[in-house]
Structure 1
């Protein structure tokens, strides 16, 4: 199972976490998404799945969920 960690910016509330979680969960190849919100509008999304989409797809999905940006991506 592959795992990708996204460093996020723009998460101001629990609804933001919900939007990002729901949109990433809809992508094919992803089996689990865990989004946590930190301080200063930052956050982290940990995505696991058998065939996680390309970085650009993940970035566009996060942008499409709202006014959020991906600052870094780490594939494991």
Structure 2
């Protein structure tokens, strides 16, 4: 299942090690990157007609990553 690949149990267990907002944002950023990598890899297995949909999902995940990055930078400041 896709959610098992993107959110493997050991990665979710890392959530229990979060002690502050910055760590929470970094955890979320890693999960967004995992999602980007997953959907990019899916393009190798999907008919080219489906690539545009996957590209749209990847773009959305990148926006999420950028938003989380900006939040993390604000927390650091």
- Higher relative contact order, structure no. (Cα contacts within 8 Å, ≥ 6 residues apart): 1
Give the number of the structure whose alpha-carbon radius of gyration is greater.
2
Same fold by TM-score greater than 0.5:
no
Q: TM-score, normalised by structure 2?
A: 0.30
Select the structure that is richer in strand. Answer: 1
